[in-house]
Structure 1
């Protein structure tokens, strides 16, 4: 059966929603991930405990369960979010937990002498982190962050449980309506296209920052 223009448009709209969810979630995840990574290596016992607990919870429970809790349970305590916003929140929080460990490992891989040299030059701990240590970790961060972005792209399909018509749900609706599995093939091609673009972007970033090592 030939795919109609209307169906193609619906699939592309679903693909755009998938891309939106992924990009927004990975950006928010990086911000929160950096915060929790610094908390994990902080000398403050309170910050370390809070960060460890957060990472433990979000890495130790299924993403689907997190989505369901945010969308269906939070309204019972007065926090009601739209399906799309719930998807953003769940994906971002989950991504932040994994990115926190990625960032922490990259920071700890930098020679400790860099921090000591920074302090000798009069930098505070956080000045040294943001001006000296973290910039040096970019090259080591890029490959695992790229992998996390690709995983997040695929995991975004889980938001379909809330009725969001992202790429996979759109394809499933079309297959259920006429029994033709060609829509799954189209979805697979689009997912492959997105993952290829992400891979190329992160490869270029890695090549760019590798000159500093």
Structure 2
């Protein structure tokens, strides 16, 4: 598994959709759209892996929903084999960027650092300021325009652990059940109870779940995919 992490609005979900080669995560030009973890089966130079999209990491935001996002990010770091840490190469460094790097160093997983929004040679050069964070390698990319994604996939293939066989297609032939209802009816709480973990953010305010999230559930030898909406 490979997790994508970074502060809000750096283009993580755009990168997730590009690497997955399909539109899975909702993308908007505002921070905080992605809140729960999203998963997709991906390939990098013939190697199969599961990609995880996470919400924007911001330990300095006191919004309760942001604290929930931080918990989801830490869960993703615990289950992944490697990490793609995304920065906005067009903006100045922030305290959150420094905290993200510190969190990843503590996690002890292989990390690929990328400077997103490097849409031109000039912006790619400007992104070099991110080396102040202390990483040895930084890949300038543009997820929106697919710039540098080939090199990124090469790095993903290098850090992936060797496997004995192809990854299992989790959703092939498995029944899919959508959980629907009005806002704040407890749909995400039901998913968490069935799964047995904090898979979805839960809040008393309506609208916590922004886009649908697929979750594989196994019970008594049977498998199904729950879709929270």
Same-fold call, TM > 0.5? no
The answer to which structure has the higher strand fraction is 2
Larger radius of gyration, structure 1 or 2? Answer: 1
The answer to which structure has the higher helix fraction is 1
Q: What range describes the TM-score normalised by the shorter chain of this pair?
A: under 0.3
